[in-house]
Amino acid sequence: MTSTTTAIINLDLAGPTISRHVYGQFAEHLGRCIYGGFWVGEDSEVPNVRGIRSDVVEALRAIRIPNLRWPGGCFADDYHWRDGIGPRDQRPRMVNSHWGDVVEDNSFGTHEFMDLCEMLDADPYISGNVGSGTVQEMSDWVEYLTRGDDSPMAALRRENGRDEPWKVPFWGLGNEAWGCGGHMRIETFAALARQYATYARNHGDNKLYRVAAGADTADYHWTETLMRSFGDLAADADGAAHPYQALSLHYYTMSGDWADKGAATSFTEDEWYLTLSRAHRMRELLSRHSTVMDRYDPHRKVGLVVDEWGTWWNVEEGTNPGFLYQQNTLRDALVASTHFDAFHAHADRVVMTNIAQTVNVLQAMILTDPDTNALVLTPTYHVFAMNTGHQDAQALDVHLRDVPTVASDGRELPLVSASASTKDDGALISLSNLSTDEDRTVQLDLRGRSVAGFTAQILSAGELSAHNTPEAPAAVAPADHAGVRATERGLEVDLPAHSYVTVSLRLV
């Protein structure tokens, strides 16, 4: 017998807007994310435009990625931007000490990254170097990118082939200052963040949204100290007068610990639930960090940016341990879907997130085969694709009843996760069944507006560890879902075990 869960949704009570930037991406100089992922060089046999892989760009445009964070990550606080401009054969080399201890030739730098963003139609989110850089270095980089007159940095940009300035909306003030970004105490970093932000200036009509490096997981003291540094936000109508406008949060999901994170494709049922329980913890982290922020910012002028999140497994056998290459299964897809439900529920505070990372690293959208150059879309990619309708839509509360739970990692994990949004004359409902073996029926009790039509998609597979490879690229891929029926109160949705379903509504 299939069990039933009820989801009550008031379609006429729209809440805060879910920023499209919640679906942001992250590309670090790490393993094969940049080199072999995005960048193959202009002389490569792989189809490319000015050295950037065409198939990767096409795949990412299809899911409408809104922004791309670069150059790190830990790499950002070792990166000196002047090394990545000018003729490529004259750029100095450096050691990428964080990721594989390999030599970086800086062939992919500022101009290449901005070219990539233009191809993707994505906003750049640049992480500035606070850890080993200088205030002037960061100030000069902003000027180089965004100033349009004959200033020294604008003139240098023109010498390197770019006449008009770029638009750069998002700017990161360091990365993980509590760790690889300098092992700083929060009191030290809070003062530095104000200083660096002051000199990361607005030029012309380019207005920077500055993001200070925020907390690791549950470090609420870090968040509180940064918030205290804002002073009296009530005296500032929109928070824009403060040197920075947001702070970040990093949280990774794994089934083990940092010494042994767990395997990507070989796991037990207990590890399945442990992973999803830890993914569900994102709701707690967002609630508690938001509560700290509310104490200083009750009107929520300051944004929370989760600019690193996702699964982190032991690397695939035979690969460089510093390259963080891992497979991506149905389990990863459900980690992503439950994260998005959490982000949607906190749309009034969470202004942007960036999954780690876009290509060939950690919970990637895309894997490229180094031998055949084949491109594989991961199960996580398909969650992003199925969720594009939530971008810039207004969040709807979903009230769930009769949700089963399982005890894991010291907490009760709800086995149904959901979120919904509305835009114009439509709505999108996302439903996840986290059970390994129990099918469910979800009764959608839809109120406030009438449903004129609906379509649905499902993402699932026979095996929990199912994943896509060059030989089986569609082992986990979305399909039309016929298991949706109209009822007097709304819709009835079949939600098979370990599946993700989206239902698109046409409203009147």
pLDDT at 121: 98
Confidence of residue 360 (pLDDT cuts 50, 70, 90): very high
State the burial class of residue 504 (Cβ atoms within 10 Å of its Cβ: 0-12, 13-18, 19+): middle
pLDDT for residue 506 is more than 60: yes
pLDDT at 3: 86
pLDDT at 236: 54
How many C-beta atoms lie closer than 10 Å to residue 329's C-beta? 28
How many C-beta atoms lie closer than 10 Å to residue 47's C-beta? 11
Mean pLDDT, to the nearest integer, of 171-185?
A: 97
Q: How far apart are CA 63 and CA 391, in angstroms?
A: 11
Mean of all residue pLDDT scores within the chain: 96
Do 88 and 107 touch, CB atoms closer than 8 A?
yes
> Which of these is catalytic: 28, 104, 143, 308?
308
Mean pLDDT, to the nearest integer, of 215-230?
A: 96
Residue range 124-158, pLDDT digits in tens: 999 999 999 999 999 999 999 999 999 999 999 99
Confidence of residue 187 (pLDDT cuts 50, 70, 90): very high
State the burial class of residue 424 (Cβ atoms within 10 Å of its Cβ: 0-12, 13-18, 19+): exposed
Mean pLDDT, to the nearest integer, of 37-58?
A: 97
pLDDT at 238: 54
Kindly report the backbone phi and psi dihedral angles of residue 179, in degrees, each rounded to the nearest multiple of 5, phi listed first. Answer: -135, -115
Torsion over CA of 346, 256, 365 and 208, rounded to 10 degrees? 50
From residue 415, how far is each of 63, 198, 467 by CA, in Å? 27, 46, 22
Residue range 302-326, pLDDT digits in tens: 999 999 999 999 999 999 999 999 9
Q: Is beta strand 24-26 parallel, antiparallel or unpaired with respect to 350-356?
A: parallel
pLDDT at 98: 93
Query: Distance between terminal CA atoms of the chain?
Result: 35
Mean pLDDT, to the nearest integer, of 164-171?
A: 98
pLDDT for residue 123 is more than 60: yes
Torsion over CA of 377, 380, 385 and 390, rounded to 10 degrees? -170
pLDDT for residue 2 is more than 90: no
CA 407 to chain centre: 28
| 3-class secondary structure, 269 | helix
Return the HEC string of 176-237. Answer: CCCCCCCCCCHHHHHHHHHHHHHHCCCECCECCEEEEEEEECCCHHHHHHHHHCCCCHHHCC
pLDDT for residue 234 is more than 70: no
Kindly report the backbone phi and psi dihedral angles of residue 33, in degrees, each rounded to the nearest multiple of 5, phi listed first. Answer: -70, -55
Burial 145-184 (b: 16+ CB within 10 A, else e): bbbeeeeebbebbeeeebeebbbbebbbbbbbbbebbbeb
pLDDT at 505: 98
Residue range 267-308, pLDDT digits in tens: 999 999 999 999 999 999 999 999 999 999 999 999 999 999
pLDDT at 237: 52
pLDDT at 500: 98
Residue 284: active-site member: no
The residue whose two tokens read 């919640």 is 22
pLDDT for residue 4 is more than 80: yes
Kindly list the structural domains of the chain, giving each domain's residue range(s) and its CATH number in brackets, ordered by start: 3-10+396-507 (2.60.40.1180), 18-385 (3.20.20.80)
pLDDT at 230: 83
| Pick from 20, 124, 123: nearest CA to 387 | 20
pLDDT for residue 21 is more than 70: yes
Q: How far apart are CA 345 and CA 337, in angstroms?
A: 13
> Which of these is catalytic: 28, 112, 143, 176?
176
Kindly report the backbone phi and psi dihedral angles of residue 209, in degrees, each rounded to the nearest multiple of 5, phi listed first. Answer: -105, 105
pLDDT at 224: 97
pLDDT for residue 235 is more than 60: no
The residue whose two tokens read 């950690």 is 362
The residue whose two tokens read 């690229």 is 473
Residue 176: active-site member: yes
Mean pLDDT, to the nearest integer, of 49-71?
A: 98
Q: How far apart are CA 135 and CA 248, in angstroms?
A: 20
Confidence of residue 232 (pLDDT cuts 50, 70, 90): low
Mean pLDDT, to the nearest integer, of 232-238?
A: 56
